[in-house]
Amino acid sequence: MTLPGPFGTPSRPTAAILAAVAVLVVALLGAGLAQTGTDELRIPAAGTTTLLRLLVFTGLAVHTGEIAGRRLAGEGPRPRSWSVPAALLAAAASAGLLLLFTAVSGLSPSVVYGLREGRLVLVSANAFVLAALCAASRHPALAALPLAVAAGAEALRAHPETHQPLLGTSLTLVHLTAASLWTGTLLYVLRTMRLRGGGRDVLLRYARMAAFVYAALVLTGTATTLRKLPLDAVLGTAYGRVLLVKLVLFGGVSLLALAARGRLLSGGNAQPPARVELSVLAAIVVVSALLTVVPDPHGPVP
Task: Please compute the mean of the pLDDT values over residues 185-210 and round it to a whole number.
Answer: 91
Q: Look at residue 8 and tell me whether its pLDDT is greater than 50.
A: no
The angle subtended at Cα 277 by Cα 271 and Cα 280, nearest 5°, is: 150
Query: Nearest 5°: phi and psi at 161?
Result: -90, 150
- Predicted TM-score of the model (pTM): 0.90
DSSP string covering 146-196: HHHHHHHHHHHHH---SSSHHHHHHHHHHHHHHHHHHHHHHHHHHHHHHHH
Q: Look at residue 3 and tell me whether its pLDDT is greater than 50.
A: no
Q: Is 16 helix (H, G, I), strand (E, B) or coil?
A: helix
Length reported for the chain: 302
Contact 251, 217 (CB under 8 A): no
Q: Which tens digit of pLDDT belongs to each residue from 45-90? A: 999 999 999 999 999 999 999 999 999 998 889 999 999 999 999 9
Largest CA distance in the chain: 61
